[in-house]
Structure 1
Amino acid sequence: MKRPRLATLLTAAVLALLPTTAHADVTYPDPQPVTGQQIIHDPTVIRLNSGGYVAYSTGGIIGARTSKDRVQWDDAGNAFATPPSWWYDYSSTADPWAPDLSYRAGRYWLYYAVSSWGTNHSAIGVATSRTGLPGTWTDHGKAFSSETTDAWNAIDPALVRADGRLWMAFGSYWTGIRMVEVNPATGKAIPGATVAHLATRPDAPYAVEGAYVLKHGGYYYLFASYDACCAGVNSTYRIRVGRSTSVTGPYADSTGKPMLEGGGDLVLASHGRFIGPGGESISQDKGKDVLTYHYYDANDSGTPKLGLNTLGWTRTGWPIAL
């Protein structure tokens, strides 16, 4: 990993001294330079036990990228050679969205959503692999689902462990971000488990999605993408965060405004050519937290591309992109 530039270090130092406010006027950092296959959407990245990195993303049959150094990325096909048949129950084109990649119990776990635009007839699937590489995944079917009678949307999964238990954040429009407990043995939601409510917006269409929960110090941090994606240079995605001492909330920003009332500190927003950052996930690499996301490149007709930034932490315990 390259050392931060002097300007980045100075920005971090200044931010550490700022009062804890959700409205600090800051300049957002550019993503770290990457080469090779940069086109990606809703990325999730992990450093493999065997060495190198793999990224999975929306598009095709869960698109795959590999890298030796987290800088040069190569196209590696898809997670699956063919779509599992049950996907067609939720998408006529069997097009999966927003994967989440993690490692536990000697296996890599891949969660993903299958749905169609504009409906909450959706499902989250789960697959496992010993290596984490494309072409090695065994699909285990649905981990959780939603129907048009539900007040939530089962897309954008993200797993987190808390106090010896396993939880999955998920959700989108249809009242925002939710969370359900998962059986660690099966990787699937516990039948009848309470669906907690973590974040929403005050007004329809409740535009908050793409959740990721990270434990740091004594808090759980809920990152989410606010506003609209998928419109190229017209996208308005931005990444916000709140925190809680409990994984199921309540989450609030640095001013104390609850995320259930639209609160959330800005972590990253559009700047320069980097439009609509979101679809985020976070991984640990060499002792650092790494924020992974897509942005739309204003210098390349709004093409979605890979964004990577190290996360720093202020002395008051709030994340900043470096």
Structure 2
Amino acid sequence: MIRLRRRLVHAAVALGTVCATLGAAHPAVADYPGPGYVTGDVAAHDPSMIRTPDEYVLYSTHNRVEARTSPDRIDFTRAGSALNTVPGWVYQYNSAGDVWAPDVSYHGGRYWMYYSASSFGSNHSAIGLATSRTGRPGSWVDRGVVHSSDTGDDYNAIDPALLVDSQGKWWLSFGSFWSGIRMIRLDPSTGKLSPQDDTLYHLATRPAAPHAVESPHIVEHGGYYYLFVSFGLCCRGTDSTYRVMVGRSRSPTGPYVDRSGTRMLAGGGTEILATHGTIIGPGGQSVLGDSDGDLLVYHYYDGNAGGAPRLGLNRLGWDEQGWPYVS
């Protein structure tokens, strides 16, 4: 733990330097700050990061949920995969057994991982759950399917993210294209669908085709719930158009509105990060509440490296109106 605290100081200095030199408190698009300095194995898509008592563990898309560890949020080392084997149910949704977009958090003495199985362009998809007592790679036990969608549905059950609200209720947001971002209520004792509420809530969409909104993540701050999403297209290297948008609501189930008051169900969203310079298509984001503040965790494509995927880390600040900004 002493070593971890020392390395945390180094991480704070590194990210603080980026904030001071590359970005103002409310940057214009051209002035978005660059990502904080990271090194090692940082080719991560759809990253979600936890802090265990000993280190940080970053989980991401592919390879039974790829795992990377870091003592300080700077140096990342590939550390195998979350799951030792591909659960049998995954093959019903992805013939190669590939899994995507994990969301990892700690509640009630254990770590919870929600992740998805699908194939590109299809909404024959499912969200699974795995749990662990340590959060370490290889320690996760699959608990099966939580929710699924099929070709007759108007939504896509991928990109899950867990929210535990101020009342202790559990919610799972998810969604990609189709009708946008959806939410279900969960039972905290199982992490699966609540027997008390089977409503499929609707949080956000983009009315115009191709309805490109996905990767929801909700955090609570100052009495509001903030819904972070990615607009645009992922996974196209230097042609990627992802950008990070946000809206807020007094209730986990909405309605979410942007800074101008436009509902996210009407296509609204306030941009907080987009392509700038060689940082292309930032998105697939999550938020880590760490001991030194909130951290935006995302991927982008490196214009200096032919569009190779990279891990992005930036601090999140909150302005006087309570809106987040990247620093």
TM-score interval (norm. to shorter): over 0.9
**Correspondence for 1:143:** 146
Contact between 2:170 and 2:187, CA under 8 Å: does it hold in 1? yes
**Correspondence for 1:21:** none
Change (3 A) 1:160 1:203: same
Residue identity matched to 2:206: R
Contact between 2:299 and 2:310, CA under 8 Å: does it hold in 1? yes
For the residues of structure 2 that align with 1:25 and 1:88, how far apart are their CA atoms? 41
Alpha-carbon deviation of 1:280?
Answer: 0.3
**Correspondence for 2:47:** 43
Residue identity matched to 2:260: T
Q: In the alignment, is residue 310 of structure 1 matched against residue 311 of structure 2? A: no
Change (3 A) 1:243 1:300: same
**Correspondence for 1:80:** 83
For the residues of structure 2 that align with 1:258 and 1:27, how far apart are their CA atoms? 27
Q: In the alignment, is residue 248 of structure 1 matched against residue 253 of structure 2? A: yes
Q: In the alignment, is residue 273 of structure 1 matched against residue 278 of structure 2? A: yes
Change (3 A) 1:190 1:43: same
Q: In the alignment, is residue 123 of structure 1 matched against residue 135 of structure 2? A: no
Q: Deviations over 1:19-53 (max 9, x none)?
A: xxxxx6561110000011111100000111x2210
Counterpart mapping for 1:1-322 below 5 A: 1-2=12-13, 4-5=16-17, 8=20, 11-13=23-25, 15=26, 27-48=31-52, 50-162=53-165, 163-190=167-194, 193-322=198-327
TM-score (norm 1): 0.94
Aligned length: 313
Change (3 A) 1:320 1:97: same
For the residues of structure 2 that align with 1:6 and 1:42, how far apart are their CA atoms? 22
Alpha-carbon deviation of 1:11?
Answer: 4.9
Identical columns (%): 54
Partner SS for 1:128: strand
Alpha-carbon deviation of 1:141?
Answer: 0.3
Alpha-carbon deviation of 1:202?
Answer: 1.6
**Correspondence for 2:4:** none
For the residues of structure 2 that align with 1:250 and 1:287, how far apart are their CA atoms? 30
Alpha-carbon deviation of 1:174?
Answer: 1.1
Alpha-carbon deviation of 1:190?
Answer: 2.3
Contact between 2:129 and 2:191, CA under 8 Å: does it hold in 1? yes
Residue identity matched to 1:169: S
Contact between 2:57 and 2:68, CA under 8 Å: does it hold in 1? yes
Contact between 2:29 and 2:276, CA under 8 Å: does it hold in 1? no
For the residues of structure 1 that align with 2:62 and 2:17, how far apart are their CA atoms? 34
Partner SS for 2:304: coil
Contact between 1:12 and 1:312, CA under 8 Å: does it hold in 2? no
Alpha-carbon deviation of 1:8?
Answer: 3.3
Residue identity matched to 1:270: T
Contact between 1:8 and 1:29, CA under 8 Å: does it hold in 2? no
Residue identity matched to 1:171: G
Residue identity matched to 1:299: N
Alpha-carbon deviation of 1:12?
Answer: 4.2
For the residues of structure 2 that align with 1:97 and 1:235, how far apart are their CA atoms? 18
Which segments of 5 or more consecutive residues in structure 1 lack a partner in the other structure? 19-23
Residue identity matched to 1:282: V
TM-score (norm 2): 0.92
Which segments of 5 or more consecutive residues in structure 2 lack a partner in the other structure? 1-11
Contact between 2:22 and 2:33, CA under 8 Å: does it hold in 1? no
For the residues of structure 2 that align with 1:133 and 1:233, how far apart are their CA atoms? 33
Instruction: Between 195-204 and 220-229, report the one with greater CA deviation.
Output: 195-204
Instruction: Between 191-200 and 221-230, report the one with greater CA deviation.
Output: 191-200
For the residues of structure 1 that align with 2:309 and 2:219, how far apart are their CA atoms? 25
For the residues of structure 1 that align with 2:41 and 2:101, how far apart are their CA atoms? 18
